[in-house]
Structure 1
Amino acid sequence: MGPERFVPYGTSHWALMALIVVGSVGLVVLGRRIERTGPWCRAFALLVLGFNVPLLVYRLTPGQWDVRNSLPLHLCDLAWMVAAWALWTRRVRPHALLYFWGLTLTPQAMLTPALNSPDFPHLDFVEFWGQHLLVIWAAAFLTWGTGMRPDWRGYRLSVVVTVAWALAMLAFNARFGSNYGFVSSKPDNPSILDLMGGWPWYLAVELVVGMAAWALLTWPWTRRT
C-alpha cells in the first residue's frame, strides 16, 4: 500500500514548516561561528546542485518529458540555480535575486503548496520540498550567516529580471499551453493570488505588492543610522 496523498497543513506539512525554521536558524548560527565561510558556501552549492540536477535530468527523460511541466521554468526552479550560483561565487547580484525570491516567493509556495502527489517518500514530494527548503536555507545562510546584504541596485535588478521572466513565461505558455509561474492562470490550490482578482489583474497586483514587499526588505539594510 503506497503513501497517503499529501494534505496541506497535515502532519508532514507542519513538520516541514518547522524544519524550515530550525534549519535556517542552525545555518545562521553556523555561518556566524565559522571563520572561513568560503569552503562551506561551496559545499552548500554542491549540495544544491547534487539534489536538483539529477531530478532535473530525470524529468527530461522520455518517460517523464512533457513540455508543459518538465522544463525548469518556474521561478522556484530558477531560484535553486541562483542559490547555487550565489553560494559558489558569493557575488552581490545573485545573492540579491536569492534574497528576494528565496525569502518571499519560495515561502509563499510552501505556505500554499501546489502539490498534488502522494506524501513522503514519493519522489514528487521529496523534489518539491527539498528544492524549496534548500533555497530558503541558502538565503538565510548567506544573508544572516555570512553577512551578505541586499541593496537598492540589487532590488532594481531583481524587479527587472522577475518582470522579464514573467513576460517570457506569458509568451511561452501561450505557445505551448503550459502555465509556468502561474502567470497565465491561477493554481488550482488556494493561494494568495485568490485575493488579487482575476487574470490578468492579479499579475499587476502581484507586481505592486511584490515591489513594495521587496522595498521593505531592502530598507533595513540600506538606511543610514
Structure 2
Amino acid sequence: MWFAGDNSEVPFTTLGAEHNIMIAVFLLGCIVVYLTRGLIASRLQRPFEVGIAVSLILFELGYHTWAVFHGNWDVRYSLPLELSNFSVILTIVLLLYRNEKLFHIVFLIAIGGAIQAIVTPVLGYGFPHFRYWHFFYTHIAVIWVVFYFLWHRAYPLPFISVIKAMIFLNILLPFIYGVNLLTGGNYWFIMEKPAGGSLLDILGPHPWYILGMEGAAVVLFTLLWLLFGTRRFK
C-alpha cells in the first residue's frame, strides 16, 4: 500500500488530519531550529549537513524509482524542472558545499515555493504512502535547511539576494519554455494555467499572467528579505 501505483486505498485530503499534522510538524520544526541556534556542536554540524543531503537524494531517487516502476513517469511532467525540484537540488548543493552566495538564492526560492506547496499541496496520495512522505519531507526539509544556515551558521541575506533570485529565475525561464515546447509539458505553468482554476486566474489571460507571476515573485522575495534579511544593501 505504501508504494502502490494508485491512490485508491490512501487518498489525500487537503486540511484533513494527515495534512494538518504535517503543517504542525513544519511549524514546530521551524521553532526548534530557531531555539537551538548555537546549541549544535561544531563537530556535529558537518555530519548533520551531509546526512540531510543524502536523505534528500535518496527521497528523490525513490520518487523516480516509484514513478518508473508503476509506469507513472512521463517526460511531460516528471522531469525535475519544477521550482520545488530546483529548490531540492540547490539545497543539496548548499548542504554539501556551504556556499554563501548560493544561499542567497536558495533561501528565497525554497521558502517562496515550498510554503505554498505545504499549505496547498497538489498531492493525491495520503498517509502512509511513499509519495506522502516524499512530498512533505522534501518541501519541509528545504525550509528547515535554509533556516539552519540563517540561524545556526549565521549566513547573511542581503537585499541583493532578491535581485539574484529574480535573475536566476529569468535565466531558467526560456530554458523551461523550450523544454515545454519539446515535450508538450507545462512546467512552471507558462504554457497554460492549471485546469480547475488557481490563483493565476487573478493575474489575467495567457501570456500576461506570466508577468503577474514575476511581479508576485518580486513582492514575495522582498517581503522575505524584510522579515529575515540583513539590513544593509551590498
Q: TM-score, normalised by structure 1?
A: 0.87
Gaps of at least 5 residues in structure 1 are none
Paired with 2:156 and 2:29, the residues of 1 have a C-alpha distance of 20
| 1:86 to 2:94 alignment | yes
Tell me the CA shift for residue 38 of structure 1: 3.0
Paired AA for residue 176 in structure 1: T
| 1:51 to 2:51 alignment | no
| 1:66 to 2:37 alignment | no
Tell me the CA shift for residue 187 of structure 1: 2.6
Tell me the CA shift for residue 84 of structure 1: 1.0
Paired with 1:127 and 1:88, the residues of 2 have a C-alpha distance of 21
Match of 2:33 in 1: 27
Matches within 5 A, 1:89-104: 89-104=97-112
Contact in 1 for aligned 2:10/2:129 (Cα 8 Å): no
Match of 2:5 in 1: none
Match of 2:223 in 1: 216
Contact in 2 for aligned 1:60/1:71 (Cα 8 Å): no
| 1:141 to 2:148 alignment | yes
User: Which of 4, 9, 25 is 1:3 aligned to?
Assistant: 9
Contact in 2 for aligned 1:112/1:190 (Cα 8 Å): no
Residue 36 of structure 2 aligns to a residue whose secondary structure is helix
Listed one character per residue, the Cα deviations across residues 56-107 of structure 1 (whole Å, up to 9, x for unaligned) are 3444569343111221111101111111111122111221222101211111
Once the two structures are overlaid, the 10-residue window that deviates more, 170-179 or 98-107, is 170-179
Listed one character per residue, the Cα deviations across residues 87-143 of structure 1 (whole Å, up to 9, x for unaligned) are 12211122122210121111112222222x231122332222222111111122111
Runs of 4+ in 1 over 6 A off after TM superposition: none
| 1:118 to 2:121 alignment | no
State the superposition RMSD in angstroms: 2.3
Match of 2:85 in 1: 77
Paired with 1:89 and 1:118, the residues of 2 have a C-alpha distance of 33
Gap change, CA 1:11 and 1:194, over 3 Å in 2 = farther
Gaps of at least 5 residues in structure 2 are 2-7
**Identity across the alignment (%):** 25
Contact in 1 for aligned 2:149/2:155 (Cα 8 Å): yes
| 1:175 to 2:182 alignment | yes
Contact in 2 for aligned 1:196/1:202 (Cα 8 Å): yes
Q: TM-score, normalised by structure 2?
A: 0.84
